[in-house]
């Protein structure tokens, strides 16, 4: 045994300090290193370039609703009605998504208040199978709209989706007219329907309830569109302008009413609710 080994074995060295491997995160846009806790405290917005990261459903509801809101139960729907399988079984994909997420599917609804103004908020979570729209998402959307009708208050939907869920085929596409009917019921009842478009909002979601709001608010630099940019370019055989399908471009061309920073979203929604549904005189 050499002298280094003897000294090392004889001295009471302290155990190696365990350091968490998730203390830092790299901003996907500016590539600056961010302290994870600061990033979370700032609602996943980069302090350097203001890039808006994706928020899960629970954090989004905490951002928008006052404390004490209640969650609507997740709807029970028939799973894997087509017995779909690609490289994996659909049921296995669902199990994996549920193991990695706190909710049973991609759409969650909270009922409460926004700065003391009654509201129901539905949130689409991109972390659950890309926020794809299947029967559970359609049913949850409709349940949120019905809750707003029962309470006589606004319905606010935060969208984030890659489109319809291909594993449910035509049944996923049927959610588009189903959700559209509920938005018409809200309109007939004189209740505000507000859409907050986040990154990304695409496909069948954009082609249905994402673009049927009384007011459309987008987060900065959010990708919003139906077909992908490359598909459009190949179809029309023309180059598309810079920033095409981004929130600021759509705002400039009248498809989005306003682009609002995440840290100002709650107060903006409260102001919009005051305009669309002012409090009744006592």
Global pTM reads 0.89
Report the DSSP pairing between strands 154-161 and 193-201: parallel
Average pLDDT over residues 200-218: 96
User: Could you read off the pLDDT of 121-157 as tens digits, one per residue?
Assistant: 999 999 999 999 999 999 999 999 999 999 999 999 9
Q: What is the pLDDT of residues 229-278, one digit of tens each?
A: 888 888 989 888 988 999 999 999 999 999 999 999 999 999 999 999 87
> Do residues 255 and 216 lie in contact, with contact meaning Cβ atoms separated by under 8 Å?
yes
C-alpha to C-alpha distance for 69 and 110, rounded to whole angstroms:
6
Alpha carbon separation from 205 to 26, 45, 61, 93 (Å, rounded): 30, 24, 20, 21
Domain locations in the chain?
23-53, 55-276
Question: Nearest 5 degrees, angle CA 228-CA 232-CA 234?
Answer: 115
Q: Which pLDDT value is given to residue 278?
A: 75
Q: What is the pLDDT of residue 86?
A: 92
**Burial (0-12, 13-18, 19+ Cβ within 10 Å), 239:** exposed
- Nearest CA-CA partner of 245 in 222, 267, 266: 222
Query: Which has more confidence, 239 or 158?
Result: 158
Report whether pLDDT(282) > 60.
no
Confidence category of residue 34, pLDDT binned at 50, 70, 90: very high
Per-residue pLDDT of 69-92, as tens digits, reads 999 999 999 999 999 999 999 999
pLDDT at 6: 58
pLDDT surpasses 70 at 118: yes
Q: How many CA atoms lie within 13 A of 215 on its CB side?
A: 20
For residues 11-21, one letter each, b for 16 or more C-beta atoms within 10 angstroms of the residue's C-beta and e for the rest, the string is eeeeeeeeeee
Whether the per-residue pLDDT at 15 is higher than 70: the answer is no
Question: What pLDDT score does 83 carry?
Answer: 95
How many helices and strands in the chain, by DSSP H and E? 11, 9
CATH superfamily of 55-276: 2-enoyl-CoA Hydratase; Chain A, domain 1 (3.90.226.10)
E strands of the chain, at which residues? 24-26, 33-35, 70-71, 107-114, 117-124, 154-161, 193-201, 215-218, 258-259
Q: Is 153 annotated as a binding residue?
A: no
Beta bridge partners of 246: 223
Residue 228 is predicted with a pLDDT of: 84
Cβ(182)–Cβ(147) below 8 Å? no
């Amino acid at each position: 045994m050499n002298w280094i080994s003897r000294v090392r074995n004889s001295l009471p060295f302290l155990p190696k300090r365990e350091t968490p491997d998730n203390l830092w995160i790299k901003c996907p846009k500016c590539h600056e290193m961010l302290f994870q806790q600061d990033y979370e405290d700032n609602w996943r917005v980069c302090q350097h370039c203001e890039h808006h990261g994706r928020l899960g459903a629970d954090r989004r509801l905490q951002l928008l609703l006052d404390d004490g809101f209640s969650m609507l139960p997740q709807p029970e729907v028939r799973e894997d009605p087509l017995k779909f399988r690609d490289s994996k079984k659909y049921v296995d994909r669902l199990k994996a998504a549920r193991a990695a997420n706190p909710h049973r599917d991609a759409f969650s609804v909270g009922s409460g208040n926004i700065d003391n103004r009654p509201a129901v908020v539905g949130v689409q979570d991109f972390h659950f199978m890309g926020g794809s729209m299947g029967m559970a998402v359609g049913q949850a959307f409709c349940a949120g709209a019905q809750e707003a009708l029962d309470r006589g208050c606004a319905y606010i939907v935060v969208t984030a989706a890659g489109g319809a869920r291909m594993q449910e085929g035509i049944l996923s596409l049927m959610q588009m007219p189903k959700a559209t009917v509920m938005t018409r019921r809200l309109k007939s009842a004189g209740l505000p329907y507000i859409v907050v478009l986040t990154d990304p909002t695409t496909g069948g979601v954009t082609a249905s309830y994402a673009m049927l709001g009384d007011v459309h608010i987008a987060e900065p630099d959010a990708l919003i569109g139906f077909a992908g940019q490359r598909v459009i370019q190949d179809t029309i055989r023309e180059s598309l302008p810079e920033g095409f399908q981004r929130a600021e471009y759509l705002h400039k061309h009248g498809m989005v009413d306003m682009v609002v920073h995440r840290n100002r979203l709650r107060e903006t929604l409260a102001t919009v609710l005051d305009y669309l549904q002012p409090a009744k005189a006592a």
